[in-house]
Amino acid sequence: MREICILALLKKKIAMPNSARAGIAILVIGAILMGIGSYQDRGALSLYGLIMAIGGFSLYMISSVYIARKNKQSYSK
């Protein structure tokens, strides 16, 4: 009985919208590009990576806040 409860807690997944997952992916890709651009002294690639990382972070935060507010409104009803 106790083992089943522990496994149920471990398998609990966080509900994350697809736009938040895409934002995290864009953030990681942008960070990798920024690192490669800095390592190879290519300013344009580094700047492009920075812009991608900022865009990915913004997309992730906006979608997370939107979903949190949507869930909060559904609980209050």
**8: confidence class by pLDDT, cuts 50, 70, 90:** low
Token digits for 15?
Answer: 């509900």
Can you give the pTM of this predicted structure?
Answer: 0.73
Q: What percent of the chain has pLDDT over 70?
A: 78
Q: How far apart are CA 55 and CA 32, in angstroms?
A: 14
Residue 72 near residue 66 (C-beta atoms within 8 A): no
31: buried, middle or exposed (CB in 10 Å: 19+, 13-18, 0-12)? Answer: middle
Summarised one tens digit per residue, pLDDT across range 16-29 is: 788 889 999 999 99
23: buried, middle or exposed (CB in 10 Å: 19+, 13-18, 0-12)? Answer: buried
